[in-house]
Chains A and B, each alone.
Chain A
Amino acid sequence: MPLTPVLTKRWLSPQSWSLRSYEELDGYTALRKALTVAPGELVTLVKDSGLRGRGGAGFPTGLKWSFIPQGDTGAGAKPKYLVVNADEGEPGTCKDLPLMMADPHSLIEGVIISSFAINANFAVIYVRGEAVHALRRVQSAVHEAYQAGYLGTDILGSGYDLEVVVHAGAGAYICGEETALLDSLEGYRGQPRLKPPFPAVAGLYGSPTVINNVETLCSVPYIVLGGAQWWKSMGTEKSSGPKIFSLSGRVEKPGQYEAPMGTTLRELLDLAGGVREGHELKFWTPGGSSTPYFTAEHIDVPLDFDEVAAAGSMLGTTALMIFDETDCIVKATLRFTKFYAHESCGKCTPCREGTYWMVQILQRLVDGEGTAEDLETLLDTCDNILGRSFCALGDGATSPITSSIQYFRDDYIALLPEHERAKLTVGAAQ
């Protein structure tokens, strides 16, 4: 499959992260163009491109921007903020950090254009705390951009001002959830906020705020340069543009693969040299651990928002974790569930207590101490969490469990002690 990289096109250039390399490869030309256009037109352009958020939920980016109240009265009169979600924490996901490492200026250019589009004069890049390398790289790129006049007051003589602050989080998965991120940014414990009010109306410090993912914002300069139609020429009808897929696990060549939306796992495996030699695909996540597992049957599902949803999972962050027949699905699920129990912020009962409990059940199962009722208890507890918890972290915690039981019930049963298994056979016969 021929690939024309967009987002990753500079990654292999020497010193791709430097301002000089960036400028040599069209860097900041989109900004010059954008500053000549009315902000509202930029919002329309992004709407027309069909760009959907790359942070996991796939919310249409232009639409999100259009929610920011503008004008001289009410919420419109308040300062507006752009917050970049660079907290990349979804297990298996590895696209925002490489983007920031290899091409930080594309993020900064995206930030400036997007801020300009929503009339924000202040933007924050909230970077995962452990990612010190990426933090430094973005910090120095921001510094370079200030020096070159791309940031600060009267940017490129346009009269537009923008200050950018790079902020290091403290490494909590929940702080990737946009409202928890805002609380964390304001100095509170990161826990999600009640909505409404939505961040577009009352976000950072109670002011209208757009929160976008790194990859989302990196896409913006290309749309400005190439136009909405060009962007839509890639991908599928409702999921336009290119996307970075992170392949990890049992593949020959794990890594980031940029491909149009709608590319299938089969095609991606071709690029990545296939499942490791001598083994076969058993199950995989299409978009990180919070998205229900797929199996070998799903190898030809086009990976775009709607097709993946129709097949029973979610595109999430296009983090494809590949498992083969040597991997125990129950162990993998236990490992993921431990992650959610550890990362649950504790605010709401279903997620806090449910993950605590399910870890113990799964551990018993893995240890060969499960009971015949455990599967039903797991499914029922997931039912009590999904859609009942405060934020999507709790929902995500149920994905591996329900989908693994759905596809691999027998693997669970096989782990039960003999006498417990017997109960199930009797139950089934009745």
Chain B
Amino acid sequence: MTVQPDTTVDKATLTIDGFEITVPQGTLIIRAAEQLGIQIPRFCDHPLLDPVGACRQCIVEIEGQRKPVVACSVAVADGMAVRTQFTSKVADKAQKGTMELLLINHPLDCPVCDKGGECPLQNQAMSNGRSESRFRDVKRTYAKPLAISSQVLLDRERCVLCARCTRFSNQVAGDPFIELFERGALEQVAIYEDEPFESYFSGNTVQICPVGALTGAAYRFRARPFDLMSTPSVCEHCASGCAQRTDWRRGKVMRRLAGEDPEVNEEWNCDKGRWAFSYATEADRILTPLVRDEETGELTAASWPEALERAAAGLRIARDAGGVGMLCGGRVTLEDAYAYAKFARVVLGSNDVDMRARAHSAEELEFLTGVVAGHRDDVTYADLEAAPAVLLVGFEPEEESPIVFLRLRRLNQTRGLAVFAAAPFASPGTAKLNGTVLLTPPGSEPRVLAALGDGSAGGPGAAAASAMRRPGAVILIGERAAEFPGTFAAATSLAQTTGARMAWVPRRAGERGAVEAGALPSLLPGGVRADDAFARTGVLEFWGVDAPAAAGRDTAAMLSAAREGALGGLVVGGVDPADLPDPATALAALDAAGFVLSLEIRHSAVTERADVVLPVAPAVHKSGSYLTWEGRHRPFEETLRGTGALADGRVLHALADELDVDLALPTPEAARAELMSIGRLLAGATKSTGRLTGGATKSTGRLTGGATNTGSDFLPIGRLTGGATNTGPDFRSASSAGLRPDSPELRSGQALLASWRLLLDEGSLQDGEPHLAGTARRPVLRLSVGTAREIGASAGDLVTVTGAKASITLPLVVTVMPDRVVWVPMKSPGSAVRAGLGSAPGDVVAIAIGRPVN
């Protein structure tokens, strides 16, 4: 995207050290100087934070002004003549003076400081400081380090009190839990005793601290920056799509940093993306293929040829005994998802493939097929920038897509973007967005959305209804909409009646790509419907196979078919049964299935039940790409090379070989090249009179390594505008059967369950990082004041919610929410909803004060 120069903005022409430059009025001197390549030293200045002018390091002179000024806080003016340290003795002396003062209380312990080697203070002391300090008195010292949280440590004597960390937390994250305390030389960064630094974004403070005052517990004293190799990477944790940088040494990742991408994550990331990477080096990592010993029933290490042979044999039998279903999980790369999608059709001859390892529905499939697939870049971060209002449906941005949250927050803070949330209560994230919550009991989403559409909504709903009609308004709908029948249909029709645009924001990093890759039972790659005879033929011709036109089974259907013996086997990649809507059935299915092949990084409930386990590479050991929620392509290279770990696609390619099929996907590049060819094929088809000329494009599919990282496009980008080819999804099957909490069917002591995942919880990709886990939100249970009173509970009391299988007991937080609705976190310590409670959001559960009676 290119930014059009805004000609409406007034310009100012000034000189800096004699060089002339023209910049928009309001530009800060320090920014204008940067454009000329003139570097003015600075500490407190940060381009994404409000200026504060505290460190006084950036002093420059303006001709004709009595006093020198700070370049970071003073805006340019037409005709101004600025002199920096390069041409002004006054500026140079002031900067040296400030530097000397900054160092009098600095420990100068660079040799043992994490920041040494990449420290702005160290660097600028060299370039702009005095060679000798005149300070011969007593330095201020503090006990060190101070734990600001379990993950962030503070060495106060190193701090230059620039307030970057506090401003970031206040202005960007909205978590003002870290502040400057005390006065004078005793001024120091601290936290309130009763309110720890609980922020999902705290790691950014470590990254922007211009000295080594803030360090991450996991990285502290582990490495020197000059010993590290840095590889640009893309976060594998969510669909926000953060650019990152992975620093590693001798085959081991030492830390990850937020990368710079002004269009996506600006310069931030979340703590999960920054710190959750040790899962890949946990002790239960699978490094060799495993096959189940027929006699002992134990998994035993095997060679690749042996394991592939066993796997092929098993699949052959299973294919003949009803077929094989493929579950690939939502964490796949685009290339791996394509490999699963193609393997299912080309090798197994079936549409039984689904990436959704979570609640899902036929209605959702319609939505993904009709509204999402093939519509990349329909709504982007840039569209959020322009939106007057955003409606969140089944989506908690701070928990489920943190960079979307930061963007919404900035827009709310800077220009008052109106945020509405159809949710059971105003979550902490919604509160920080100054959002208006449309109190929605679980399951009532369709009703609430319908009221916005037909204008019958009152109160805050009326405001939301009119906001959604303003040009550019956006509906962000989460994957959780699949939990409540009728929600996708209602949201789609709301978009149609109001003219609002809509984007689907899944939680996992691979889901958006998997949709385009065709890893769904009703979709072929490129957004082609399996039942679209015309386009389908093109894809299948391209693959040179024939596959059933009917949609395949979805995740739940595959699992029950496997349990009942209708399916002969399952291929499972990266799925945690505990995340599935019905974990018990899933486990039973794995137990019952004739043959189970698991592609996994680490041991799991699936590998425990698998006949053959093939180890696959975690993100750090492979290259590939993700699509962000927008559909933006995010390619990444292999960070740690030469470990021998294979991507899922490579494993599937070898397995296909064993089954005498050439999958033709030996590398991610090959997968991307095929996707690109399919893209061209489809683009050509829509342009021409309608005949797909498969063969013509097939040959162009070769793409070599270097070309893949240019961000070149590989699939058609559709825009969901008026005359789009798309006919819209068919929601005939959808109904809005949600039980209302005021329904007479609900008795006192009963409630509807609401639940979602918190960003930091018991997800397996956060394993091995106790410091990070320590910053997770404390699991609580939420009830309205009325419902709490009904069961005799008050704030802080332990309350037990009992579901189909078991119960969960958590301390109560009384919350403004509909009566007879209870919320607990989905997969947090002490709160496993699916695997433990055995109930799903929208289900009726029992609530009672105290611990469970048994």
Contacts and interface: CB of A to CB of B under 8 A. Distances in A.
Contact of A355 (B55, B67, B184, B187): B184
B804 interface: no
B186 A346 contact: yes
Contacts of A384: 93-94, 97-98, 100-101
- Place the interface of chain A in its size category: 20 to 34
Contacts of A390: 53-54, 56
A373 B53 contact: no
B294 interface: no
Interface string B173-198: 00000011011111100000000000
B134 A377 contact: yes
Contacts of A348: 53-56
Given A194-B73, A353-B101, A387-B67, A344 B183 contact: yes
Contacts, number: 99
Interface in B9-43: none
Interface string A43-72: 000000000000000000000000000000
Interface string A337-354: 000011111111110111
B126 to A, nearest CB: 18
A22 interface: no
A172 B179 CA distance: 18
B620 to A, nearest CB: 41
B140 interface: yes
Given A194-B53, A343-B183, A364 B137 contact: yes
Contacts of B102: 349, 353
Contacts of B372: none
B56 A349 contact: yes
A356 interface: yes
B283 interface: no
Given A194-B73, A356-B140, A341 B185 contact: yes
A10 interface: no
Nearest to A364: B137
B104 interface: yes
Contacts of A194: 51-53, 73
A388 B94 contact: yes
A198 interface: no
Interface in B266-284: none
A346 B101 contact: no
Contacts of B57: 349
B344 interface: no
- Place the interface of chain B in its size category: 35 or more
A389 interface: yes
A356 B54 contact: no
A346 B183 contact: yes
Contacts of B73: 194
B137 A361 contact: yes
B68 interface: yes
Interface string B141-181: 00000000000000000001100000000000000000110
Given A361-B137, A373-B134, A356 B56 contact: no
B137 A344 contact: no
A357 B187 contact: no
A162 to B, nearest CB: 31
A360 interface: yes
Contacts of A354: 101
B135 interface: yes
A349 B185 contact: no
Contacts of B137: 357, 360-361, 364
B161 A350 contact: no
A390 to B, nearest CB: 6
A402 to B, nearest CB: 15
A381 B180 CA distance: 25
A383 B185 contact: no
B231 interface: no
B59 interface: yes
B137 to A, nearest CB: 4
Name the residue in B66, B140, B161 with the highest tally of chain A Cβ atoms < 10 Å from its Cβ.
Answer: B161
Given A355-B184, A384-B101, A350 B56 contact: yes
Contacts of B105: 353, 356
Contact of A389 (B56, B66, B135): B56
Nearest to B182: A346
Contacts of B98: 349-350, 384, 388
A9 interface: no
Given A352-B185, A356-B185, A357-B135, A346 B180 contact: yes
A384 B186 CA distance: 20
Interface string A184-225: 000001000010000000000000000000000000000000
B138 interface: yes
Interface string A300-344: 000000000000000000000000000000000000000001111
A388 B68 contact: yes
A361 B56 CA distance: 23
A24 B8 CA distance: 63
A364 B137 CA distance: 9
24 contacts: A194-B73, A341-B185, A342-B183, A344-B185, A346-B182, A346-B185, A347-B54, A347-B161, A349-B55, A349-B57, A349-B101, A350-B56, A352-B185, A353-B102, A353-B104, A355-B184, A356-B104, A356-B184, A357-B135, A380-B97, A383-B97, A384-B93, A384-B98, A388-B94
Interface of A: 172, 174, 189, 194, 341-350, 352-357, 360-361, 364, 373, 377, 380-381, 383-384, 387-390
Give 6 closest A-B pairs by Cβ, nearest first: A346-B187, A384-B97, A360-B137, A353-B101, A356-B185, A344-B184
